[in-house]
A and B are shown apart, each in its own frame.
Chain A
Amino acid sequence: MQARQAHAPSLARLSRVTHRYGPVLALDGLDLEVRSGEVLGVLGPNGAGKTTAISLLLGSLQVQEGVASVFGLAPGAPEVRVRRGAMLQISGISANLTVREHVELFRAYYPAPLSASRLMAMAGLEGLARRRYGKLSGGQKQRVMFALALAGDPELLFLDEPTTGLDVDARHRLWSEIRALRESGRTTVLTTHNLDEADALADRVMVIHNGRRIAEGTPAEIKSRTAGRLVRCVTRLAPDAMASLPGVVEARTRGQHLEALTTQPEVLVRELLARDEGLADLTVVAAGLEEAFLALTKDTP
């Protein structure tokens, strides 16, 4: 599978793209490639430039510097639009139309749309067809957006934070739909700051920070690139005190536990044991994607 992706043709790309909003530099010579058949996870903290990058690939922003192309064409070209679907972070569509009316309207935009019943099933909207959009819950609204993104049976799908506001069940259901899409040969670009989501879905992850690509690879590669270890324990020490210890990149509480990411686990464990005699339930594990992400973005100014 890794091999297949490496040689898969590129469906969309940004080359040396720089984008400014007035004095603010949003993208700084960014390179990004979407390969056919993959799920590409685009990660980055808020303000990293993810949405700007996606907007350029959707054609809703004009390229200022560099090159953007989708299917070898300009991102806004009509031929591109019929083969592409998008789910954006928007605050809502018309509250007064029913779910079915929204779906029918979007289906009409495309030459070979998926059937309305199929879309409703894929997005888990069965039984909500006659409900007005405004009367839906947040999760249901998000699923309508997903259905609209799929209306044209797209080859390339952009999902910008798709599971925001979904409960765990709905989230896992959407994940399985995205996996099914991938199995049927579609390509997905997934923007998220939920690292579990990227870990669970993405074939390849790209981390953007301050408008630049700071890492790229499979989730496993990204994780392995972080030398640090995660030290976890129940302690009376405050996270602040922990953060000031040598080698600690990041410290936080999670439930009863305190977690610290460190490049020098041995030194830290020794220090912890010395400071807190009541320390319990100590584990030391390899860092996950989240930790890798933290480490990566912390290193970069």
Chain B
Amino acid sequence: MKSARHLVGRSLTWLAIGVVVFTGVLATLPVPQAAEGPARGVPEETFAIVDVTAFDGEAFGQGWDVWVEDGRIRHAGQKLDLPEDLPRLDGRGHTLIPGLIDGHVHSFLSTLRDALRFGVTTVLDQSTDPAFAAAQRPAREEVARGTEADLFSAGMTATAPEGHGTQYGIPVETLTGPDEATEWVRARKTEGSDWIKIIYEDGSAFDMEIPSLDGETVAAVIAAAHAEGLAAVVHVSTLETALEAMAFGADGLVHVWRDEVVSEADARRFREAGIFVVPTLSVMVSADDSALAALVRETDETMLSPIQRQTLDGRFPGGLAEGGDVAMENVRRLRAAGVRLVAGTDSPNPGTGAGISMHGELRLLARAGMGNAEALAAATSVAADAFGIAGRGRIAEGRLADLVLVRGDLERDVSRSHDIVAIWKDGYLVDRAVGSAGAGPLAEIAPAPAETLVADFEDGFEARFGAWDVTTDQLTGGASSANAAVRDGALVVTGEIAPGLAFPWAGVIWMPGAQPMQPVDFSGREAIRFRTRGDGRQYSVMLISTAEPAGPPPAVTFIAPEEWTRLEIRLEDFPTATPEIIAGLAFVAEEPVGAYTFEVDEVEVR
């Protein structure tokens, strides 16, 4: 018969086994394939970013130093006299921009966190549950470490019973006539609305019938808002209602319209009225548009929260009606007439994602003709000024240190804005916990292995060290293609150069570091040697070295002849000061457009 002591021992043993198995299960469950936590060694709170290309909210400056102290910008400008012991970050090759301001969002669940993780430090919400807005309000007043974007909000929207804006499950106090306007606006002011938003939408642009406020009531609410010292913005979806709203004295329109192209005369009237427009091209142009699809493709999926993935995957029921081109043209014309445009995404509507869509909106604004600085201004200083959000959207003395450091030069190409290296909110580094995979230029420069042979393709696609991958101009919105395969012990690259970009390219890239695009120091090596053959056209070897300022990478061209030929390119032949620092070597086809085929073998750095 078993004794009680024996039973105790056995129970404890089983309990211990259970705890170990349970912990073991938890410890071996899969994790996202990305590094956790913020980039190591990035300073925060009090520090300086030196020698960086800075966009101050209106214009770019080269070689700027930005001195952050206690979460605010103490000084910013060229060649500052910085204290010796101030922690500093070398900003060469990067662009520093103010934290982005998304001029049209809806906030719930994790959207504020998601926004911040993509460099949007302030959101202007155009319809929020007032309780949610109230709960968020204290955070924007304090300088402290946070995980969410600051929220400014219209709160509840003015709409008709059963009208647009009532369908989201958030309680909405509706209006039925102009006589209710003053009381309604006062209630919003008491709740803490930062401005007033009015829905003027009968659904006609979508072939629907939706109850709407009448023009008289819209005008009355605008007047009441102004009487209470609040700005009033209007949701419209047709040119006709846009013109009416302008006539009623609205301060801004929070969508562009897709029903009709605005005439130059009307565009001028908008300018003269001083009204601003938040076009929200992100929801006007199909989410399957190449620019947006490419943005999502370029984003490491593990960076996206479940909500972002869900909303990005979503589509408006029945798809978007025609009219994306009209919306685009309207933005073009409004811009040409000088109307103030504010960047806003209307995320997280189907096909958009909080935060990430802001980078798509910048690309769309650029496509609609805005310059790089102009598009960034629409997403920073212009947004702050339009909605009267003080102290944000600029890199200037005394402003909050809401900053985004981006790889490369945005002055040349705003479409790189998503390639974020670091985000500071109130001077604190944002933990992009759903982490970024790229170690980037802030990673240590790794020493090169002793081996000189990079790859001989005898055993497949594997490199002796580092890794091969295909690379195409789809990264920047192009349409060229590349396929790589190993055949008979050599790397065969085929594809097509497609028109669309000024400098199309496609081919393969070898990245020597342990992590993608991690720079490796090849000091002491002299040349890159490889065998090649192909269709006889001209190709390039591009040397990507992140110690270099952004821009097209230094390249040396070569011809791939019909017969196998061994080529050697001396490192000093690359037009760069630091050819020994290599993050990637790309073997690519460029102009002219058309199909290409070449092979590469026995690649060495010697």
Residues of A within 8 A of B (CB): 100, 104, 107-108, 113, 115-117, 120, 129
Chain B hits for A129, CB < 8 A: 1
In the assembled complex, which residues on chain B have CB atoms less than 8 Å from the CB atom of A104? Answer: 2, 4, 7
CA distance A120 to B3 in the complex (A): 14
Question: B7 to chain A: which residues have CB within 8 Å?
Answer: 104, 108
Residues of A within 8 Å of B4, CB to CB, are 104, 107-108, 113
* Alpha-carbon distance A53/B527, docked complex (angstroms): 104
Chain B: minimal CB distance from A144 (Å)? 15
- Per-position 1/0 for B2-34, Cβ under 8 A of A: 111001000000000000000000000000000
Interface residues of B in 473-520 (CB under 8 A from A): none
Residues of A within 8 A of B2 (CB): 100, 104
Query: How far does the alpha carbon of A107 sit from the alpha carbon of B2 in the complex, in Å?
Result: 12
Which 3 A-B residue pairings sit nearest by Cβ, starting from the closest?
A: A116-B1, A108-B4, A117-B1
| CA distance in complex: A148, B1 (Å) | 16
User: Residues of B contacting A113 with CB < 8 Å?
Assistant: 4
Q: Looking across the interface, which residue of chain A has its beta carbon closest to that of B8?
A: A108
Most buried by A among B1, B2, B4, B7: B1
- Chain A residues with Cβ below 8 Å from B1 are 100, 115-117, 120, 129
Can you list 15 A-B contacts (CB < 8 A)? A100-B1, A100-B2, A104-B2, A104-B4, A104-B7, A107-B4, A108-B4, A108-B7, A113-B4, A115-B1, A116-B1, A116-B3, A117-B1, A120-B1, A129-B1
Residues of B within 8 A of A117 (CB): 1
**How far apart are A117's CB and chain B's nearest CB, in angstroms?**
5
| In the complex, residue of chain A having the shortest beta-carbon distance to the beta carbon of B6 | A104
CA distance A116 to B2 in the complex (A): 9
Query: Which residue from chain A places its CB closest to the CB of B5 in the assembled complex?
Result: A108
What B residues does A120 contact at CB under 8 A? Answer: 1
Using a Cβ cutoff of 8 Å, how many contacts connect chains A and B? 15
Q: A120: nearest residue on chain B (CB-CB)?
A: B1
- Minimum Cβ distance to chain A for residue B442 (Å): 61
B11 to chain A, nearest CB (A): 11
Q: Which residues of B contact A100 (CB under 8 A)?
A: 1-2
Q: How far is the CB of A19 from chain B (nearest CB, A)?
A: 37
Distance, CA A108 to CA B1, complexed state (A): 14
CB of B565, distance to nearest CB on chain A (Å): 82
Instruction: Determine how close the nearest CB of chain A comes to the CB of B8; give it in whole angstroms.
Output: 8
Bound Cα distance from A196 to B384, whole angstroms = 100
Q: Taking the nearest CB of chain A, how far is it from the CB of B574, in angstroms?
A: 78
CB distance from B52 to the nearest CB of A (A): 71
Minimum distance in angstroms from B10 CB to a CB of chain A: 11
Name the distance in Å between B475's Cβ and chain A's nearest Cβ.
64
Q: Complex Cα distance A100/B4, Å?
A: 11
What residue in chain A is nearest B1 (Cβ atoms)? Answer: A116
Minimum distance in angstroms from A260 CB to a CB of chain B = 55
C-alpha gap A58/B1 in the complex (Å): 30
Closest to A108 in B: B4
Cα-based distance from A120 to B2 in the complex (angstroms): 13
Chain A's closest residue to B7 (CB) is: A104
Known: A104-B2, A115-B1. 12 other contacts (CB 8 A): A100-B1, A100-B2, A104-B4, A104-B7, A107-B4, A108-B4, A108-B7, A113-B4, A116-B1, A116-B3, A120-B1, A129-B1
Beta-carbon nearest neighbor of A116 in chain B: B1
Would you give the shortest CB distance from B5 to chain A, in whole angstroms? 10
Residue-by-residue, is B237-249 near A (CB-CB < 8 Å gives 1, otherwise 0)?
0000000000000
- CB neighbours (8 Å) of A107 from chain B are 4
Of residues 260 to 274 in B, which have CB atoms within 8 Å of A's CB atoms? none
Which A residues are in CB contact (< 8 Å) with B3? 116
**In the assembly, what is the distance between CA of A248 and CA of B461, in Å?**
113
A-facing residues in B220-241 (Cβ within 8 Å): none
Residues of B within 8 A of A116 (CB): 1, 3
Distance between Cα atoms of A129 and B1 in the complex (Å): 9
Give the CA-CA distance A107 to B7 in the complex, in Å: 12
Query: B2: shortest Cβ distance to chain A, in Å?
Result: 7
B262 → chain A closest CB, angstroms: 79
B12 to chain A, nearest CB (A): 14
CA distance A129 to B7 in the complex (A): 15
Across the two chains, which residue of chain B brings its CB closest to A101? B7
Tell me, in angstroms, the Cα distance from A100 to B3 when the chains sit together. Answer: 10
Distance A108 CA – B7 CA, assembled complex (angstroms): 10
Shortest CB-to-CB span from B208 to chain A, Å, is 62
From residue A114, how far is it (CB to closest CB) to chain B in Å? 12
Bound Cα distance A116, B1 (Å): 7
Please give me the residue from chain B that is nearest to A113 by CB atom: B4
A107 CA / B3 CA spacing, docked (Å): 10
Smallest beta-carbon distance A281→chain B, Å: 55
Give the distance to chain A from B6, nearest Cβ to Cβ, in Å.
9
CB interface residues, B 200-227, toward A, < 8 Å? none
Give CA–CA (A115, B4) in the complex, Å. Answer: 10
Q: Within 8 Å CB of A108, what residues of B? A: 4, 7
CA distance in complex: A108, B4 (Å): 7
Complex Cα gap A117–B2 (Å): 10
Complex CA gap A129/B2 in Å reads 11
Bound CA–CA A108/B2 (angstroms): 12
> CA–CA, A117 to B1, complex, Å?
7
A107 to B4, CA, bound (A): 8
Distance between B14 CB and nearest chain A CB, rounded to angstroms: 15
Expressed in whole angstroms, the Cα–Cα distance for A104 and B3 within the complex equals: 8
* Shortest CB distance A224–B (Å): 49
A113 to B3, CA, bound (A): 11
Q: A115 to B2, alpha carbons, bound, how many Å?
A: 10
A102 to B553, CA, bound (A): 80
A115 to B1 Cα, complex, angstroms = 9
CB of A111 to closest CB in B, whole Å: 12
Instruction: Report the minimum CB–CB distance from B65 to chain A (whole Å).
Output: 74
C-alpha spacing A113/B4, complex, angstroms? 10
- Within the assembled complex, what's the spacing in Å between the Cα atoms of A1 and B3? 39
CB distance from A139 to the nearest CB of B (A): 22
- Nearest Cβ distance between residue B344 and chain A, in whole angstroms? 64
Q: A117 — nearest CB in chain B belongs to which residue? A: B1
Q: B125-157 toward A: CB 8 Å interface, digit per residue (1/0)?
A: 000000000000000000000000000000000
Chain B residue nearest in CB terms to A109: B4
B382 CB to nearest chain A CB (Å): 73
The chain A residue sitting closest to B4, CB to CB, is: A108
Whole-angstrom distance between the alpha carbons of A238 and B7 in the complex? 63
| Distance in angstroms between the alpha carbons of A96 and B1 in the assembled complex | 19
Contact with A along B390-407 (1 / 0, CB 8 A): 000000000000000000
Shortest distance between the CB of A99 and any CB in chain B (Å): 11
Q: Mark B98-138, 1 if CB is under 8 A from A, else 0.
A: 00000000000000000000000000000000000000000
Q: How far is the CA of A117 from the CA of B7 in the complex (A)?
A: 16
Q: How far is the CB of B240 from chain A (nearest CB, A)?
A: 76
For the complex, give the distance between the alpha carbons of A104 and B2 in Å.
8
A207–B529 CA distance with the chains assembled, in angstroms:
113
